[in-house]
Amino acid sequence: MTASGQRNIVIIGGGIIGCTTAYYLSRHPKYSTENTSITVLEASSIAGGASGKAGGLVAKWAYPKELVKVTFAEHERLAAEQNGRGEELEGGSKKMDPDRSLQKKEGLIDGDSEAPLSGSTKGLPRDLDWVKSDLTDSYAPMARHGETAQVHPYLFTNSMIELAQEKGVKVVYGKATSIGYASDGAVESVTYIQDSESHTIPTTDVIVSAGPWTSTVLPQVPISGTRAHSITIRPSRPVSAYALFTEIQLPDSAQAVTPEIYARPNNEVYACSPGDGKPMPESTKLVEVDEKVCEALFAQVASISDELRKGEVTAKQACYLPNVNSGPQGHPIIGSVRGSKGLVIAAGHTCWGICNAPGTAKAVSELVMDGKITCGKLDKLAPHHFF
């Protein structure tokens, strides 16, 4: 705090991690608008990146498991407290030809489920009637009832920031360019560019949650981005809620394709393809969408479902997923930076940012307001393990 007892918290990044962190800070018992200000600094728009273009899968078998133990319960609590309608998903892998490892499946290795899942079968579940059964080579469930759910990423992120704003949180639009430090290493300001003019915010605490753009503010942080395309489809009729991790052998291709398909409760189906190596631009507004990739993605999912083939493509989009390039594989960086008092990082959540946002936000709010994380054992996610 300042000499007057005032705490000024700046969150860099208005994605799901930053907005959810703002919400949790604004609900912390020690928070008061009389002695604490919270500012979310966003370079383009709230949920303008992956937070608005992700699938929204929430799973108990996500990773790292130490964080998932906290986050799944928080998703359930938030849905109950904020009148969110929970949507349980059936989770399955649908193999249309050769056997290959599935995306996001790594978390199943460390899962906490006690009994084994049933093995691969030829037939599809009865209510999965929007996928062509005559083309199915095999189907296998990846989770039990109660182990998976979904949220709409864009709506969830915007709901979090709107609820935070009701408690006094401010949103400022501008690109963060640097963090200022006092002689003792403590953070003291954040400088940003807005409409070509430079501005500075005095601060006692800085939380960097800029996803793949984190290293533009903190170059020492080993985080990069991978572009991934997705589309949304309004099917020709309502379809049952399933998350499908597919392997599809197209007749004109020697290699199987592996799109992920999420059926949402608002009569919308989301589908995404694997990432590519396109270099990351300066902001989410400059992300390029490859129309051919989106068209190919639609052709892939349409090949196994008449409901999707006859449906309407409502969005073609791309975003960058944050990847941590050192330290424990697949783990985000969450914690205080040694030698920089008041500096906290919460970034690098790979494909599990939507799932792990509430757990991350709860942990960061405890760290900033109480000085330590008590909701879970997250020591191995501390920044000093990565750089």
- Give a three-class secondary structure readout of 138-203: EEEECCCCCCEEECCHHHHHHHHHHHHHHCCCEEEECEEEEEEECCCCCEEEEEEEECCEEEEEEC
C-alpha to C-alpha distance for 18 and 322, rounded to whole angstroms:
14
Burial of 285 (0-12, 13-18, 19+ CB in 10 A): exposed
Number of domains in the chain: 2
- 71 shares a domain with 157: yes
**Cβ–Cβ under 8 Å, residues 260 and 243:** yes
Q: CA nearest 260: which of 229, 281, 237, 282? A: 229
Residue 256: CATH number of its domain? 3.30.9
- 126 shares a domain with 53: no
Query: Is 95 within the bounds of a domain?
Result: no
Query: Is 168 within the bounds of a domain?
Result: yes
Residues in CB range of 57: below 8 A, 6 or more apart? 89, 104, 148, 150, 243, 262, 354, 355
Examine the fold and report which residue of 323, 342, 375 is the final residue of a domain before the chain moves on.
323
Examine the fold and report which residue of 323, 338, 368 is the final residue of a domain before the chain moves on.
323
- 299 shares a domain with 366: no
At 329, the amino acid letter reads Q
DSSP classification of residue 215 = H
Query: Is 291 within the bounds of a domain?
Result: yes
- 298 shares a domain with 179: no
- 299 shares a domain with 348: no
DSSP classification of residue 131 = S
Query: Is 213 within the bounds of a domain?
Result: yes
| Helical H segments across 8-141, by residue range | 16-26, 50-53, 65-81
- 232 shares a domain with 201: no
Query: Is 25 within the bounds of a domain?
Result: yes
C-alpha to C-alpha distance for 206 and 176, rounded to whole angstroms:
11
Query: Is 105 within the bounds of a domain?
Result: no
- 331 shares a domain with 298: no
- 137 shares a domain with 271: yes
- 72 shares a domain with 156: yes
- 128 shares a domain with 33: no
Query: Is 103 within the bounds of a domain?
Result: no
Query: Is 207 within the bounds of a domain?
Result: yes
Question: 355: which 2 tokens?
Answer: 């799932």
Each residue's pLDDT expressed in tens, for the chain with a length of 387 residues? 665 689 999 999 999 999 999 999 999 999 999 999 999 999 999 999 999 999 999 999 999 999 999 999 999 999 998 876 555 556 555 443 332 223 355 555 444 443 445 555 668 999 999 999 999 999 999 888 889 999 999 999 999 999 999 999 999 999 999 999 999 999 999 999 999 999 999 999 999 999 999 999 999 999 999 999 999 999 999 999 999 999 999 888 888 999 999 999 889 999 999 999 899 999 999 999 999 999 999 999 999 999 999 999 999 999 999 999 988 788 999 999 999 999 999 999 999 999 999 999 999 999 999 999 999 999 999 999 999
Examine the fold and report which residue of 305, 323, 341 is the final residue of a domain before the chain moves on.
323
Whole-prediction pTM value?
A: 0.91
Residue 60: CATH number of its domain? 3.50.50.60
Q: Which residue range(s) make up the domain with 159? A: 7-78+152-222+326-385
- 245 shares a domain with 317: yes
- 236 shares a domain with 136: yes
